[in-house]
Amino acid sequence: MKKSLIPAVIVLVLALVAAIGSQGFLGPCVHEDGSFGACHWAGRAELGVGLLLAALALLGILVKTARRGLYLAMLPTALLGILTPGTLISLCAMDTMRCRALMRPAMTILFALSLVAALIGLLLSRGEERQRWA
């Protein structure tokens, strides 16, 4: 297995955990009356960003020739995942609410690790590209 595939696999797993978790075990508050607040939309946005990042990672695994470009696309996508809850989409006002206490830190960690893995993959793919042309 090529070294530059390992970060793509890591990004794929982290992105899927973020996407699935944002709608379940890491998701925002669930109100008893069926209503939802702004944090609901942050969770939905995280689902979309996580699925996009997972798709880019899957393409990075399958498509050899465009791997470097896919890693470049993963970087701002992961950054978007970090910035979505609380910065781009507001969360509940109370710090003890599930969206602030669980979802925001979990998504920050998952997408930050994805960002680091994508950066490592970019650097490794650059080295492989140089070897191919040598």
Both tokens of 115, joined, read 């960002």
For residue 133, pLDDT over 60 is answered with no
Confidence at residue 122, expressed as pLDDT on a 0 to 100 scale: 93
Model pTM above 0.85: yes
pLDDT at 74 over 60: yes
**pLDDT digits 0-9 by tens, 30-66:** 778 877 888 889 999 999 999 999 999 999 999 988 8
Question: H or E stretch including 42?
Answer: helix 38-62
Give the pLDDT confidence score for residue 14 in this predicted structure. Answer: 98
User: Is the model's pLDDT at 102 over the cut of 80?
Assistant: yes
134 pLDDT exceeds 70? no
Query: CA-to-CA distance for 118 and 100, rounded, in angstroms?
Result: 26
- The answer to whether residue 72 scores a pLDDT higher than 70 is yes
Q: What is the mean pLDDT of the chain?
A: 90
| CA–CA–CA angle 84, 87, 93 (5° rounding) | 110
Task: Report the share of the chain in percent with pLDDT over 90.
Answer: 63
Q: Please enumerate in sequence order all residues whose Cβ is within 8 A of that of 95, keeping only pairs 6 or more positions apart, or say none.
A: 101
C-alpha 30/C-alpha 39 separation (Å) is: 10
> What's residue 53's pLDDT?
98
Any residues with CB less than 8 A from the CB of 76 and at least 6 apart, and which? Answer: none
Inform me whether the pLDDT recorded for 132 exceeds 60: no
The pLDDT of 111-124, averaged and rounded, is 96
